[in-house]
């Protein structure tokens, strides 16, 4: 079994941004000299994710808007009975009590998931015709790392 | 290390449907002749997912309904301040500007995640007693592929 | 290729709870005597998950509250047109027709995802500085299992 580890660092200008990294993952697989196996692509931060989907700019705007609806930057009261009982003091995310302002980015990490695994067949990422790998930044403006771990033979 | 790759093609009548594939994943592991390792089960399309859960028809209806609530087929305005500022022109998903009508299916792909990895122990999928593997179609009615990549020894 | 399988059993007092298991995953990797590879951490139940994020108690309360908003314990009608047509009889999750009361826990399993894979580099979990691995219980009070499968060499 061969293995190879590569790291990438991102520093986005925007707070929330999707960055295509399919080519970098393929390059890591080639450095690994793996014909058959898997490449794990995993954000090393808790406010970022990895998504495999379409490289269509309108969709990316839709996704960032929709994630803001589901995991809003400002805490909002629940409409349901059970969640309403869990009201935090001050009407803000509890995570913000220590001075943080990125509670929503942690929730977006949960929704998107922080990692994906790409199968490798005959030395190539075995993706469908529209599948591209994206690093999803939810709290940018500072250096953040991602690890690619390829195993196989 | 052994590896084995199998592909499945689905063409559902319904637009949204869950299809049990546990047995096919187990068969791929047996073809791989792997006793210890992992089987990656990954949709090759950007409007489908893979979910490991209960084979209970009521739950499946609940899940399809609930996914429609969270990732609705028709774009809906946000209630929160921040997301409201991200209003698309025309009140529809931006992804639909090119003639597509499956914006919600991409969001459901994100929620469900497009893949799962099943551990393999003593030649069997090492699942809990109620865990079954499902292919989740969100934009059916046409042929769509899934890859199973088993590695181990 | 080496492989090693470890199981953990949880029995929480609370119905919903996050339990840090980073150290147990690292211990399984050491038992496996793996220097380079991956450790799959996967809940064996359909009402639990695995999340890699910050060990910050306020955030954990935020997450449990937010999951109750998105996947509420009591079924709630949809606001959108399409989901509204999918109204279940009796205004409750269909999954509850058989006497179950944990429909929300299955939906939370879907949101959180039931597994994560941790890369292993030089014998250590290759995590970012704030990344910890958590078992996420959504229907506790009874024994539930998790599998750790480490492969590599």
Tally A–B CB contacts below 8 A: 114
Nearest CA in chain C to B136: C110
Q: Among A40-49, B62-71, B99-108, which range has the highest average pLDDT?
A: A40-49
DSSP one-letter code for A87 = P
A129 CA: distance to closest CA in chain C (Å):
25
The SS3 of residue A78 is coil
Give percent of chain A with pLDDT exceeding 90: 83
B53 CA: distance to closest CA in chain C (Å):
5
Indicate if the pLDDT at residue B133 is higher than 90. Answer: yes
At a CB cut-off of 8 Å and minimum separation 6, what does C153 contact? A1, A3, C1, C2, C34, C35, C36, C37
Contact at 8 Å (CB) between A57 and B61?
no
The ipTM assigned to this model is 0.93
Kindly report, residue by residue over B48-86, the tens digit of the pLDDT.
Answer: 999 999 999 999 999 999 999 999 988 877 766 555 566
- Which chain A positions have a beta carbon within 8 Å of C102's beta carbon? none
Chain B contact present for C40, CB below 8 A: yes
DSSP one-letter code for B87 = P
Q: Do C86 and B61 count as a contact with CB atoms less than 8 A apart?
A: yes
Q: Do B38 and C151 count as a contact with CB atoms less than 8 A apart?
A: yes
Chain C contact present for B66, CB below 8 A: yes
Kindly report, residue by residue over C48-72, the tens digit of the pLDDT.
Answer: 999 999 999 999 999 999 999 999 9
Contact at 8 Å (CB) between B39 and B118?
yes
Nearest to C82 among B56, B72, B117 (CB): B72
Nearest to C72 among A46, A82, A113 (CB): A82
Q: Do B40 and A119 count as a contact with CB atoms less than 8 A apart?
A: yes
Report field, pTM of the whole predicted structure over 0.80: yes
Kindly report, residue by residue over C75-125, the tens digit of the pLDDT.
Answer: 877 766 556 566 676 778 999 998 899 999 999 999 999 999 999 999 999
């Amino acid at each position: 079994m061969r293995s190879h580890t590569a790291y990438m660092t991102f520093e986005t200008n925007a707070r929330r941004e999707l960055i295509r990294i399919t080519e970098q993952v393929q390059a890591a697989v080639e450095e690994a000299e793996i014909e058959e196996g898997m490449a794990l692509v995993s954000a090393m931060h808790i406010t970022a994710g990895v998504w495999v989907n379409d490289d269509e700019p309108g969709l990316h705007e839709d996704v960032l808007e929709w994630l803001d609806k589901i995991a809003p930057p400002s805490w909002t009261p629940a409409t349901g009975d059970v969640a309403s009982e869990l009201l935090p003091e001050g009407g803000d995310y509890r995570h913000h009590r220590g001075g943080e302002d990125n509670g929503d980015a942690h929730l977006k990490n949960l929704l998107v998931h922080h990692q994906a695994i790409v199968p490798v067949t005959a030395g190539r990422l075995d993706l469908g015709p529209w599948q591209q790998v994206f690093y999803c930044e939810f709290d940018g403006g500072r250096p953040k790392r991602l690890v690619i771990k390829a195993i196989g033979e």
